[in-house]
Structure formats: C-alpha cells, structure tokens
Amino acid sequence: MDSLTQIVLGAAVGEAALGKKAGNKAMLYGAIAGTIPDLDILSSLFFDPLTVIEIHRGFTHSILFAVLFSPVFGYLVSKLERRGPATFKDWSWLFFWALFTHPLLDALTTWGTKLFWPIKYPVAVESIFVIDPLYTVPFLIFVILAMFFKRDDKKRRIFNTLGLVISTSYLMLAFGVKCYATQQVMAALDEQHITYSALKVKPAPLNIILWTTNVMADEVVYLGDYSLFDSQPVKFHPVAKNHHLLGDLSKDENVKRLINITENWYIVTSVDGKLYINDLRFGTLNFDYDDPQFSFSYELVEQDGKITISENRKTPREASQILNYLWTRIRGN
C-alpha cells in the first residue's frame, strides 16, 4: 500500500499495542515502524532497476524480518525512552506487530509481497489497489481523533479500535467483492466459449467497484473489465503475446529475470524498432484495448553486447488518463 496508509496502520497498531503506557509516543513509533519495510526502495541508489524490482517487497516485507528486527528496534527505543513506563519487551511487541501488519496489508495488493522469504514465491491476494481512499481516509480520521485524548481515556481506545475494525471490515468486503467479480468473469468466459489456462481478476485503481481481468490463452491474453453496476456481459479483448519477437533475447539472463518477475503475465511489443516487455499484472493507463498503454513497461536496451532493462516511466498526464475513464466506467456499461 501507499506510504500514508502504512503510516496510519502502523500508528493504529502502535496505539493498540502500547497506547495505555506510551500514549502518542506509541502512535509515533508505530508510524515509524510502519514505514521501515518500504525503506528497501533505497536500493535504487545502489542497484540497477531490475535488481531493485527483485529486492522490493522482499526480505523487509517478510515474517522473518519482523521476528528478527522487532527486538533490535525495541531495544533502541527502550534506551531512548528509558524514563517511560514501557519496557524493552513492550517496545519489541509494538515493533513486531507494526512490522508484521505492513506486509500483511501489502499481500492483499496486486504486487503482493514475499511474506515467507527466503521462499521467493510472492503472496498476492489482489483484492485491493495500492491506493484506496475508502480504506485510508476513515482509518486516518479515527486515528487522528484518538490522538486528542489522554492515554488512559476510554474514548482514545474506542476511536482507535473503530478505525481498526472499520478498515479491516473494508478489506474483508473487498475480498468478498473480488470473489463475486471473479465468478461473473468466469461465467462470461464460459458463455463466450473462451478457453484459457489462467485467470487474474484485480481491482482497478482507487476502488473495489471496477475490476480488471487478464485471461491467459495460447497465443493471446484477453483483457477486460467488470463493474458491479454492469448490465452487459464482460467484453474480452484479445492482445497478442508476441513472445516470438524476443528471438534469441529470450535466452538472456536479464530478460529471464524480468519474465520471472512478471510471473509470465507479459506481452512483447515493438515500437519504432524498440522492444518492450509489458507487465500485464497492473493493467493499462488508458483502458484502450486496441492500443493499450501498460502501467509497467520495460525497454530492452542492448549495451556492449548485453541487455539492460530500462523502465518506461509514465508521466503524470498519462496517469491522469485513467481517472477520466474510471469515473465513467465505474457506473456500469
């Protein structure tokens, strides 16, 4: 999830774990702990883009990291706050839950997380988008309200608990909606006699009403979307995989690594003589299935006989295209 959401979650977890003893300091250190796993993004200062992608949401987003480092951070904070009533054990407990709930929430997104690292298989439930205001905003409001009460005030615990309960209920609702949307997509595939080997149904940005789908077939991937307010069947648009365009490049080690990252959900495109591998898991920016502009696209650049991977960065203008479509499409076809 986005940084603000993880800060709010960390603050709420910190309050639940140690608010009675530490008050707003529990929220503060919980918020800090909630940001620690994402510091793996600093790897971009030292490694190439491909390695950064492999590192992100890896070790720092694992159960093992929470277990190993919660006592380390707990010890450091217990020394900083040695005059307070909280002990080393108390602070370690706070850090464990803040470090543990961060990857749990990330595991619900499309990107997922390597929760069981060193096992490299990512856990990705794909039931909530990485930014969802309906999850974050109510949660944030209740955490802020709780901050204004003294640590021994019952209202403080009530507001914080409400924030945790409502946000968790929303996650459960999102998973239920995903299951329903998946059933509708599968029914449409059966009705249209489309044979497929794998299926992904994931939330469109910022909501749990509109869902996008990838359907893996032999030579094509069918792309489509489904809104809970739709009255017409799901339309599936075939997009050629074009894996043959890679030729001998498919044997290159960096290309293999990138394909492994996409979990084989990719297509190859050639634009102005340049080859791109497009990660299908995160959908398109324009929802134009005749000329899709994928959210994550990587150019294969040959330098000194070696292939390097360069991410095709999207501009804010390109990203804003999706908002215009979402507003219309969410309301149904």
Residue 185: inside a domain, yes or no?
A: no
Question: Distance (Å, rounded) from C-alpha 269 to C-alpha 35?
Answer: 36
Percentage of the chain modeled with pLDDT above 70: 98
pLDDT digits (tens, 9 = 90+) for 271-309: 888 999 999 998 887 777 888 888 899 999 887 778 888
Report residue 291: phi and psi, to 5°. Answer: -140, 70
- The yes-or-no verdict on residue 120 having pLDDT over 90 is no
Q: Note the pLDDT of residue 314.
A: 66
Are 156 and 223 found together in one domain? Answer: no
Are 57 and 95 found together in one domain? Answer: yes
**Residue that is last in its domain, among 174, 204, 235:** 174
**Residue that is last in its domain, among 174, 203, 224:** 174
Are 148 and 200 found together in one domain? Answer: no
Q: Per mean pLDDT, which range of 33-42, 79-88, 171-180, 308-317 is the poorest?
A: 308-317
Residue 37: inside a domain, yes or no?
A: yes
pLDDT digits (tens, 9 = 90+) for 226-252: 999 999 999 999 999 999 999 989 899
- The yes-or-no verdict on residue 103 having pLDDT over 60 is yes
Are 218 and 281 found together in one domain? Answer: yes
Are 162 and 288 found together in one domain? Answer: no
- The yes-or-no verdict on residue 10 having pLDDT over 80 is yes
- The yes-or-no verdict on residue 197 having pLDDT over 90 is yes
Are 206 and 162 found together in one domain? Answer: no
Are 125 and 34 found together in one domain? Answer: yes
Residue 239: inside a domain, yes or no?
A: yes
Domain that holds residue 265: 192-333
Residue 288: inside a domain, yes or no?
A: yes
Q: Note the pLDDT of residue 300.
A: 92
Report the domain count for the chain: 2
Residue 182: inside a domain, yes or no?
A: no
Banded pLDDT at 316 (limits 50, 70, 90)? low
Residue 180: inside a domain, yes or no?
A: no
**Residue that is last in its domain, among 141, 174, 207:** 174
- The yes-or-no verdict on residue 31 having pLDDT over 90 is yes
Task: Please indicate whether residue 305 or residue 139 has the higher confidence score (pLDDT).
Answer: 139
Q: Note the pLDDT of residue 315.
A: 61
Are 13 and 155 found together in one domain? Answer: yes
Are 215 and 259 found together in one domain? Answer: yes
Are 115 and 221 found together in one domain? Answer: no
Residue 181: inside a domain, yes or no?
A: no
Residue 8: inside a domain, yes or no?
A: yes
Are 211 and 162 found together in one domain? Answer: no
Are 159 and 307 found together in one domain? Answer: no
